[in-house]
């Protein structure tokens, strides 16, 4: 089988945005730091020292972009509402996001990897897949070379998983964070992958995890041994077949090195189902963050978009999407957000939501793009 000879790496920068900020503010190393919001820049004293804002100072509807591992120890995490996070870690340092700096270090880290292995699939500002199949050398040694090259180029650490396919490598890059290197083959699946919780598999969200737990399936190994008919009864034939394949570590996807993007998207599955009215502020913050990240992807790839879409998955797993084609191509966060809200006005919102996504398509290089209107952020479903 072709998978047995492949060597696919997933490289994930460790707490990337926060780590970039620590290069600028090394005095914050070892402290809980949260990145997100706007207008909370540190104040510089006459002697050159800084006075940093604290998470308890935050007022608004924003969500966390990322956090240091010290902040995560308090239960704070990406896409969490800032006001909620302030209750968990009120003394955490609060810094605004600086996407220009993140893009700079993203380019450096990808260039460093490309100098060793040029077959790269770009998955975002802080992660890539790399095909190492035809790179000379021992797998462990190549992984160590990549990590050292990234650190030399950026001053930052990354975690690397190297396996026969993308599915397993994505899991493995997260097993020994931060600064980890995990190498495994198909023979290692029973001992290294099967003991993991099913939530470790990319594509199994909180709701599916809850449903599987109700069936007595909590680990990947238990999923691998589950009755196919039982899974079909609860998840449908397509998703059940996928669950069975991933539990066995099967993934035939190739590395996509094409530079031409037909579309770009950002989406997130919620830790709990959210309601359009009761959780409006939380949803608004999440949507704003998704649009900001999508705008950053467009800018990094040097595209503008004429079609913006939203994707919703309800608590019953039904998916609905809407799109709007704009008279002028956009790439700014506020313009994407405004278009996404126009789409939301055409979506029924009686059921709770478990996933929200934003997509940009009809991509083109930036030309004579008119200045986009900059709306004031309001309610998500205004």
Catalytic residue among 21, 127, 292, 332: 127
Asked about 127 being catalytic, the answer comes back as yes
- Structure confidence at residue 261 (pLDDT): 61
pLDDT in tens, 267-320: 988 878 898 888 888 999 999 999 999 999 898 888 899 899 999 988 877 888
- Structure confidence at residue 260 (pLDDT): 57
Binding-site entries: 12, 126
Spatial contact of 374 and 278, defined as CB atoms under 8 Å apart: no
Strands 304-314 vs 181-183: parallel, antiparallel or unpaired: unpaired
- Structure confidence at residue 80 (pLDDT): 86
Spatial contact of 74 and 32, defined as CB atoms under 8 Å apart: yes
Q: Name the percent of the chain lying above pLDDT 70.
A: 94
Among residues 379, 360, 371, the alpha carbon closest in space to that of 290 is found at 360
pLDDT (average), residues 323-347 = 91
Binding-site entries for Mg(2+): 12, 126
pLDDT in tens, 67-122: 999 999 999 988 888 889 999 999 999 999 888 899 999 999 999 999 999 999 98
Show the 3-state SS of 165-202.
Answer: CHHHHHHHCCCCCCCCEEECCHHHHHHHHCCCEHHHCC
pLDDT in tens, 31-46: 999 998 777 899 999 9
- What is the value of pTM for the model shown? 0.70
Q: What is the mean pLDDT of the chain?
A: 89
Q: Which region, left, alpha or beta, applies to residue 360 given φ > 0 means left and ψ of -120 to 50 means alpha?
A: beta
**Calpha distance 25→197 (Å, rounded):** 36
* pLDDT higher than threshold 60 for residue 4: no
């Amino acid at each position: 089988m072709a998978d047995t000879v492949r060597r696919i790496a997933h490289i994930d920068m460790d707490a990337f945005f926060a780590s970039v900020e620590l290069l600028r503010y090394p005095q914050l190393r070892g402290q809980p730091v949260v990145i997100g919001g706007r207008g909370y820049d540190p104040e510089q004293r006459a002697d050159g020292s800084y006075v940093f804002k604290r998470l308890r100072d935050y007022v608004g509807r924003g969500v966390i972009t990322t956090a240091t591992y010290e902040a995560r120890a308090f239960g704070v995490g990406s896409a969490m509402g800032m006001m909620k996070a302030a209750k968990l870690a009120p003394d955490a340092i609060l810094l605004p996001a600086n996407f220009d700096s993140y893009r700079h270090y993203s380019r450096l880290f990808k260039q460093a990897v490309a100098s060793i292995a040029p077959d790269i699939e770009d998955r975002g500002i802080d992660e890539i897949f790399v095909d190492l199949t035809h790179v000379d050398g021992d797998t462990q040694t190549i992984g160590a070379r990549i990590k050292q090259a990234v650190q030399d180029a950026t001053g930052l650490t990354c975690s690397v998983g190297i396996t026969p396919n993308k599915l397993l490598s994505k899991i493995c890059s997260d097993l020994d964070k931060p600064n980890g290197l995990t190498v495994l083959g198909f023979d290692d699946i029973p001992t290294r992958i099967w003991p993991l919780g099913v939530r470790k598999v990319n594509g199994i969200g909180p709701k599916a995890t809850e449903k599987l737990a109700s069936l007595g399936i909590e680990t990947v190994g238990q999923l691998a041994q589950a009755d196919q008919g039982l899974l079909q009864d609860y998840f449908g034939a397509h998703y059940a077949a996928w669950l069975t394949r991933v539990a066995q570590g099967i993934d035939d996807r190739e590395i996509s090195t094409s530079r031409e993007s037909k579309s770009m998207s950002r989406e997130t599955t919620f830790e709990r189902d959210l309601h359009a009215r009761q959780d409006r502020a939380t949803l608004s913050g999440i949507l704003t963050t998704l649009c900001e990240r999508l705008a950053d992807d467009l800018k990094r790839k040097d595209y503008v978009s004429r079609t913006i879409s939203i994707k919703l998955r309800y608590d019953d797993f039904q998916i609905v999407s809407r799109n709007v084609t704009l008279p002028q191509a956009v790439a700014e966060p506020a313009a994407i957000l405004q278009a996404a809200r126009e789409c939301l006005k055409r979506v029924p919102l009686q059921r709770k939501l478990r996933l929200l996504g934003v997509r940009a398509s009809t991509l083109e290089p930036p030309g004579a793009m008119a200045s986009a209107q900059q709306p004031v952020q309001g309610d998500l479903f205004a």
